Homo-oligomer: A and B are copies of this chain.
């Protein structure tokens, strides 16, 4: 959260830290799958910030007439994390298409390289009519920075 953008986005990979909180776990203290998807959204937000794209004017931009909803998401949850753990998310733009962006996420423990979970999320550019449209050039340019 306090990580500097320059440091945060090296070689196109953004690092976000997430602390497992109350409400993130199942009743047995294990992080459940829904929380990983919530963490992915935070990772996208921080990735955008690191690219100088403020989330509040990127997910929906009324003046420029576009929105960027998440239309598809996938995750695989490999090893358990528990309440209080500090997780490290590595976030990449895996693909930029004409109308869509594909993010990829990898979850690791604070220290160590065991893959805990992985996932993807696809954002599509839409107009005010909710139909897919081309991604604004400035968004593509900003996301391509670190690649």
Contact = CB atoms under 8 A, between A and B. Distances in A.
Interface of A: 1-3, 17, 19, 21-30, 32-35, 37-38, 41-42, 45, 54-56, 59-60, 67, 69-80, 82-84, 121, 130
Given A37-B33, A45-B21, A76 B83 contact: no
A77 B84 contact: no
26 contacts: A1-B2, A22-B27, A22-B32, A22-B34, A22-B41, A23-B32, A23-B35, A23-B38, A25-B25, A25-B27, A26-B60, A27-B28, A27-B82, A28-B29, A28-B59, A32-B41, A33-B73, A34-B38, A34-B41, A55-B84, A69-B80, A70-B77, A72-B74, A72-B77, A73-B74, A79-B130
A58 to B, nearest CB: 10
Given A1-B2, A23-B32, 16 more contacts: A1-B1, A1-B17, A2-B3, A22-B34, A22-B45, A23-B34, A26-B83, A28-B59, A33-B37, A33-B41, A33-B73, A34-B41, A37-B73, A55-B83, A72-B75, A80-B130
Oligomeric state, in number of copies? 4
Kindly name the residue among A23, A45, A56, A121 whose own CB sees the greatest number of chain B CB atoms within 10 A.
A23
Nearest to A18: B1
Nearest to A38: B34
A133 B111 CA distance: 29
B34 A21 contact: no
